Amino acid sequence: MRQQRGFTLIEVMVAGAVGVIGLYATLNLTMMALKGNTARRDTQAAGQLAEHILSTVQAEGTLWTGDGNPHPSLPYLGKLPTPPSVGTSTGWLNGPTLPLSADKRVGPMGGDVKYDQGILQEIPSDRGTRYCVHFRLTWLSNDLVRTEVRVSWPRPITPADKYQNCPVEMFHAVAEVSSLSLPALVQRNSNVQ
């Protein structure tokens, strides 16, 4: 007598369970990769924003001429404490944002109405507004300033509007906020008298 060949119900159930476990592992791996890509994209955009702000401050350095402090109308260097004294600092300040706005966050292109007009015509200023910009200026000599720019943004687990006024202390909420800092030196333009 010939035996019939086939699968038993238990074999089918075990194969189904193995397939479900494999599918779950694949989906979990995909979700982790997506979260990692989002975190890398946010960090890259924040780094580019910090570099843009530092370049803006260095561009202001070309307008800093003569023997005195930078002109107070300069959005960044105009905040330097007077008179120049080695080691004195502004402390952390909010970067320029759109005038009269309670929401101090900016997009990855910045939001300085004086310096960012070209890019803001191409990409709207309200796109991706999740970054807080803080800066600190420290006198190193009468014509040299250390500039630090810190860009912070909420982690995905944080309510989107929790840090919309960009408090300086948000940097310390490491469970809720990601951030990066970049330094640069700005020198007075001594080539112009």
Distance separating alpha carbons of residues 141 and 84, to the nearest angstrom: 7
Residue 2 has pLDDT above 90, yes or no: no
Q: Is residue 70 within 8 Å of 186, Cβ to Cβ?
A: no
Q: Coil, helix or strand for 64?
A: coil
Q: What is the pTM of this model?
A: 0.78
Handedness of CA 7, 12, 13, 17 (dihedral sign): positive
Strand order in the sheet with 132-141: 93-94, 132-141, 144-154, 177-187
Q: What is the pLDDT of residues 148-168, one digit of tens each?
A: 999 999 998 888 789 989 999
Q: What is the pLDDT of residues 125-138, one digit of tens each?
A: 666 788 999 999 99
Residue 39 has pLDDT above 70, yes or no: yes
Q: What is the pLDDT of residues 21-30, one digit of tens each?
A: 998 888 888 8
